[in-house]
Amino acid sequence: MSDNQKIIRHTELRVFKKAFDVSMKILKLSHDFPMEERYSLTDQIRRSSRSVCANIAEAWWKRRYEAAFISKLSDSEAEAAETQVWLQYCVKCNYVDREIAKDFYAELDQVLGMIVNMISHPDKWVFQQTARKQK
């Protein structure tokens, strides 16, 4: 691990903070969606945006195992991309102004970039396994 040695909890990660902030903004934004979208688009965009954060948290606590760490980050990456798709639907259905959606999309691109960086450099994040003693 490098500078992240100071990080104890997933809530201290910049990527988590950014993803959480975006998910809260999406929650507020979606309050104004039509009632008929309550159990479809509204639920989907809220669920996927929250799942980005949840998967980052899971990845953090699974960093003893590089494969598990990367797998959970990959899930988080997919959820962020899914959230972007739901934003596209929001614009097409005229529930969200295109410019507002662009800002959300850009924020999610930043989150995706941070996740990709973590996936590309897991050695900076996962615990280093100590060599087992040979018998």
pLDDT value at residue 134: 47
Report whether pLDDT(91) > 70: yes
Please compute the mean of the pLDDT values over residues 22-40 and round it to a whole number. Answer: 95
Please compute the mean of the pLDDT values over residues 86-98 and round it to a whole number. Answer: 97
pLDDT value at residue 133: 46
Helix runs in the chain, H state only: 14-30, 41-61, 66-92, 98-120
pLDDT value at residue 129: 66
* Tens-place pLDDT, residues 119-135: 999 999 998 765 444 44
Q: Is 133 left (phi over 0), alpha (psi -120 to 50) or beta?
A: beta
pLDDT value at residue 5: 60
* Tens-place pLDDT, residues 32-89: 999 999 889 999 999 999 999 999 999 999 999 999 999 999 999 999 999 999 999 9
Q: Are 64 and 117 in contact (CB under 8 A)?
A: no
Which pTM value belongs to this model? 0.89
From CA 30, how far away is CA 27, in angstroms rounded? 5
pLDDT value at residue 1: 44
Report whether pLDDT(111) > 60: yes
From CA 10, how far away is CA 133, in angstroms rounded? 32
pLDDT value at residue 7: 87
pLDDT value at residue 6: 81
Please report, to the nearest 10 degrees, the dihedral formed by the alpha carbons of residues 9, 15, 19, 25 taken in order.
100
Q: Domain 9-124 class?
A: mainly alpha
